[in-house]
Structure 1
Amino acid sequence: MRGYSLTTRLTVFFSLSSACVLLGLGLLIFSAMDRHFADEDYVLLRDNLRLVEKSIGTSTTGALPAHLRDAYQHHAGLLLHVRDADGHIQYATPGFDFAAALQATPVRHGDMDVIVWRQGGTAYRGIRAGAVAGKAGDSARPVEIVLAMDTDMHEHFMRAFGQSLILYVALAALASGVFGWWAARRGLSPLRAMASRAKAVTGDSLYERMPVEAVPVEMADLAADLNAMLARLQDDFRRLSEFSSDLAHELRTPLTNIMTQTQVALSQPRDAAKYRDVLASNAEELQRLARMVSDMLYLAKMEHGLDLPHKETISVGAEVRALFDFYEALAEDKGIALRLAGDAVIDGDRLMLRRALSNLLSNALRHTPERGKVVVTATRQAGEVEIAVENEGSEIPPDLLPSLFDRFFRADKSRSRPEAETVGLGLSITRAIVAAHGGSISAMSEHGVTRFAMRFPDPDAARALP
């Protein structure tokens, strides 16, 4: 049924279920009625059997055939066959062949031996019993009695009832199918509405959402999940569009510089010194482009959830002191003090962690005024290891804090960056590295201090779990 619609499937299931239930109920009623008619027939036969036994018991042996003929030859609806122990027939209903009745195997029904057989297209029910013929003082002789009746009236009724039952079940199944189709169409209308909404979703209309309040409870979770998926797609599409625009801008500027300087240099003959200056300037721009491409590739690997290349236990204090040694010359030029407070260990990739710390330290040194200070703290709290980098300097506006980790983000909306050494990917890479380690990063800037805090899972707390 995979090729059929859900409405068709539900309609078929409704129809089949109704037909099965009604047919089962009809068969139960049919069987009960048949048993009821059989019981009525046997009660009637038993009552007449008593009369026959009484007649036999009050007749002499010689007068028994005549007595039975006078009493039962005109008794409509009853068939009587009486024979003695020698097989002599004392009486048999005229015009009826009792051969099949005498050959039928008796079945015990209550306190009687009953027989059922068919003859000439008619079904019969009967009782087989024994009696003693002869009055008191007469020579008593045992006789065998077969008393039966046809069931034409009951069979006719049951046949008509069966035909009516089949017709009713067919009509009821058809009606159930119609009502089931209507209920399925009405019940699945919210799903069709969701499908039409989904068809309307394109790259230019990702704002479309599923009607969560207008759908049944069973579909509300699906609608909410689809809305969440659309929200993620809309956000990712927006970020991709912004990234494409930013990337085009970032690549256009150095490429324009290279082409302009090269064209100017080639416009007329120049001495070797001029050519070297042009080549040196072009080399700087090319290095910047190479660094941008390298950072973008690194960021793409991090954001695709690649496993950590070399996972090991890392001492945060040792890594920070190694970076202090690297940045010591730059810090001394500006008179900036570098300080480390606390220590901790985390599980992760040493080179990746060092790159994240290096990005934060280089940013801090770039924005710290002369004779300021940069403080790195490492603490353990609530099952996490927090590594924070703080620097003094001008505050970042609160409305810009959520965008600090976006690619190519700069607070300067004019994008003017003379002599800039970065391409705006450092914090994005740092966030991706922290996320690859299962952590998170946040930023705050107030009271003249800017603070970036990276939080990683505490390996000691994880190992202590059962």
Structure 2
Amino acid sequence: MAARSLTTTLALSFAGTTLAVFALVGSSLYYTLNSEIKQQDDLDIVLIARHTRRLAEELGSTADVRDHAERLTSQVLGNPALSMEVRDASGTNLVEHNTASVADAGFPAVALARRLGATQRITGSDVVEWQNARGTPVRGLAIDATLRDGAPVTVVIARDMTDRWRLLDRYRERLYAAGFAGMLLAFLMSWLLVRESLRPLREMAARASTITVDQLDTRVDIERAPGELEALTQSLNAMLDRLHGGFERMSQYTADLAHDMRTPLGNLRGANEVALARPRSTAEYEALLESNLEECDRLSRMIESVIFLARAEHPQFITTLAEFDAREALQQIADYFEGPAEDAGVSIHVAGSGRLRADKELFRRAVSNLLANALRYTPRGSEITLSVEQKNEMLEVAVTNPGTPIDPALLERIFDRFYRADASRHSDGHAGASAGLGLAIVRTIMTLHGGTARAGSGADGNRFILAFPRR
């Protein structure tokens, strides 16, 4: 199904609006003109009726009415649409002028018009409308008058509205033509104006179409965009910034992953090649297998960390939240690391108290990563502190250890994937050496909980803080 054209849709909307306005205004003008014409014609009929009654009342008898017929009909001469008819009490026509156009088939005008008594005042509201034999409208009235001898006569004044009807028809047709022409003109002009107004959008689309993987640093020019499109342009550029940054991080992440996996694989290959160069004793083969197992464990941990990070970034990653005692959980972690801590000549102390609502397994993983990191860089004979503290709306879990201070410029970067403040430390030969993903996992876990992970460093040591929201 073809997409609708926004330009055509808006142009049709403007054209429809214009047609509606023309129809409203034209209808108002049409009915106003029709009302004005009727009022003016009714006024003429009323004035003629009044003059005719006054003239009839000056006549002495019905014979005088016939003798002065021209004087009476002079009131309607000059306008072929007007007619006059004077009848006596028996219904005999005394005066008749142009009555054929105002009578209905079988019904004279006197039978159709409203009849007023000889003493009744004549007003415009007394004029009524009927249709003649041709079906065209006629307006008129009938009045009684008393001659000087006391004889009553009836005067009918009527006007054939055919000319007015045709005038209104022509006016209505012109309104239709003007409305249709106005609609077409509005459609054409609005189509051109909307198309020109949408030109910045087409330019933005053309600009966006030039952005490829190799040109993610290209941005949409917002200087020429109208104010209404400024927010859209800024959002589009912000999206491109995020894509650019994400693509660069992914590229760096892929390169770092390949580099870090190459090291244990190279160690495995080199050790095996050396072992196969000449016959070895059973003890040497056992030592080789132990070394290979350490490298396999290192690869396994690295792959597991990468899989966890990939899953955690998926929108449907599920966390099971539960409320638990944070100090008790920290003590369990300290007990688990008791053996490695003794080997490293380091003691672990747990302090503080508080309850926390979080995914307990992810909480343990985050703290364990920090504790394992602290064990690697804490001098022998020192103490590592695991603490929990409530601060306003947050509950902070901290891992504090003495050791070489971290450069303040690196406190944020150490949470990046595969980043190491001291690259020499990861290849120190220990089986627990870091792959550069531990702190990245910690930050990901905190993001899943809606919290933050941050680091601080000073002369007295380093401190890693996990801030959980209190739900």
Q: 1:308, 1:349 within 8 Å by CA — same for their partners in 2?
A: no
Unaligned 5+ segments in structure 1 are: 460-466
Q: Give the distance between the partners of 1:94 and 1:178, measured in 2 at CA.
A: 52
Q: Which residue of structure 2 lines up, in the alignment, with residue 219 of structure 1?
A: 229
Match of 2:140 among 127, 135, 140: 127
Question: 2:355 aligned with 1:345, yes or no?
Answer: yes
- Using a 3 Å threshold, how does the CA distance of structure 1 residues 257 and 109 change in structure 2: closer, same or farther? farther
- C-alpha displacement of 1:455: 0.3
Q: Which residue of structure 2 lines up, in the alignment, with residue 404 of structure 1?
A: 414
Match of 1:76 among 78, 81, 84: 78
Q: Which residue of structure 2 lines up, in the alignment, with residue 432 of structure 1?
A: 444
Q: 1:104, 1:117 within 8 Å by CA — same for their partners in 2?
A: no
Q: Which residue of structure 1 lines up, in the alignment, with residue 151 of structure 2?
A: 140
Match of 1:96 among 94, 100, 107: 100
- C-alpha displacement of 1:311: 2.6
Q: 2:426, 2:434 within 8 Å by CA — same for their partners in 1?
A: no
Q: 1:377, 1:389 within 8 Å by CA — same for their partners in 2?
A: yes
Match of 2:198 among 188, 192, 195: 188
- C-alpha displacement of 1:346: 0.5
Paired residue secondary structure (1:443): strand
Q: Which residue of structure 2 lines up, in the alignment, with residue 464 of structure 1?
A: none
Q: Which residue of structure 2 lines up, in the alignment, with residue 113 of structure 1?
A: 127
Q: 1:115, 1:125 within 8 Å by CA — same for their partners in 2?
A: yes
Paired residue secondary structure (2:401): strand
Q: Give the distance between the partners of 1:440 and 1:219, measured in 2 at CA.
A: 35
Matches within 5 A, 1:61-460: 61-67=61-67, 69-72=69-72, 75-77=77-79, 78-93=82-97, 96=100, 98-100=102-104, 102=109, 104=112, 110-120=124-134, 123-135=136-148, 138-141=149-152, 143-266=153-276, 272-305=282-315, 309-412=319-422, 417-420=427-430, 421-459=433-471
- C-alpha displacement of 1:354: 1.6
Query: Which moved further from structure 2: 370-379 or 413-422?
Result: 413-422
Q: Deviations over 1:32-81 (max 9, x none)?
A: 11211111111111111112212322224431551453324562323112
**AA matched with 1:113:** V
Q: Give the distance between the partners of 1:152 and 1:53, measured in 2 at CA.
A: 26
Q: 1:81, 1:91 within 8 Å by CA — same for their partners in 2?
A: yes
Paired residue secondary structure (1:99): coil
Q: 2:378, 2:403 within 8 Å by CA — same for their partners in 1?
A: yes
**AA matched with 2:88:** D
Q: Which residue of structure 2 lines up, in the alignment, with residue 463 of structure 1?
A: none
Q: 1:73, 1:94 within 8 Å by CA — same for their partners in 2?
A: no
- C-alpha displacement of 1:454: 0.5
- Using a 3 Å threshold, how does the CA distance of structure 1 residues 368 and 279 change in structure 2: closer, same or farther? closer
Q: 1:65, 1:90 within 8 Å by CA — same for their partners in 2?
A: yes
Q: Give the distance between the partners of 1:189 and 1:109, measured in 2 at CA.
A: 65
Q: Deviations over 1:235-266 (max 9, x none)?
A: 22111111111111122222233334445545
Q: 1:405, 1:428 within 8 Å by CA — same for their partners in 2?
A: yes
Query: Which moved further from structure 2: 60-69 or 435-444?
Result: 60-69
**AA matched with 1:223:** T
Query: Which moved further from structure 2: 318-327 or 353-362?
Result: 318-327
Q: Deviations over 1:369-424 (max 9, x none)?
A: 22233222211111111111111111112222221111121224579724142211
Q: Which residue of structure 2 lines up, in the alignment, with residue 462 of structure 1?
A: none
Q: Structure 1-normalised TM-score?
A: 0.87
Paired residue secondary structure (2:127): strand
Q: Give the distance between the partners of 1:154 and 1:99, measured in 2 at CA.
A: 18
Q: Deviations over 1:313-354 (max 9, x none)?
A: 222222222222233344344443433332111011222212
Unaligned 5+ segments in structure 2 are: 116-121
Q: Give the distance between the partners of 1:231 and 1:80, measured in 2 at CA.
A: 91
Q: Structure 2-normalised TM-score?
A: 0.87
Q: Give the distance between the partners of 1:435 and 1:177, measured in 2 at CA.
A: 53
- Using a 3 Å threshold, how does the CA distance of structure 1 residues 60 and 210 change in structure 2: closer, same or farther? same
- Using a 3 Å threshold, how does the CA distance of structure 1 residues 333 and 262 change in structure 2: closer, same or farther? closer
Q: 2:85, 2:99 within 8 Å by CA — same for their partners in 1?
A: no
Kindly report the root-mean-square deviation, in angstroms, between the aligned alpha carbons of the 2 structures.
2.9
Question: 2:15 aligned with 1:15, yes or no?
Answer: yes
**AA matched with 1:131:** D
Query: Which moved further from structure 2: 89-98 or 37-46?
Result: 89-98
- Using a 3 Å threshold, how does the CA distance of structure 1 residues 429 and 95 change in structure 2: closer, same or farther? closer
Query: Which moved further from structure 2: 393-402 or 71-80?
Result: 71-80
Paired residue secondary structure (2:213): coil
Q: Deviations over 1:258-281 (max 9, x none)?
A: 334445545666555444444333
- Using a 3 Å threshold, how does the CA distance of structure 1 residues 129 and 216 change in structure 2: closer, same or farther? same
**AA matched with 1:80:** M
**AA matched with 2:448:** A
Q: Give the distance between the partners of 1:208 and 1:85, measured in 2 at CA.
A: 102
Q: Give the distance between the partners of 2:352 and 2:177, measured in 1 at CA.
A: 88
Q: 2:386, 2:397 within 8 Å by CA — same for their partners in 1?
A: yes
Q: Give the distance between the partners of 1:377 and 1:239, measured in 2 at CA.
A: 33
Q: Give the distance between the partners of 1:404 and 1:88, measured in 2 at CA.
A: 121
Q: 2:323, 2:358 within 8 Å by CA — same for their partners in 1?
A: yes
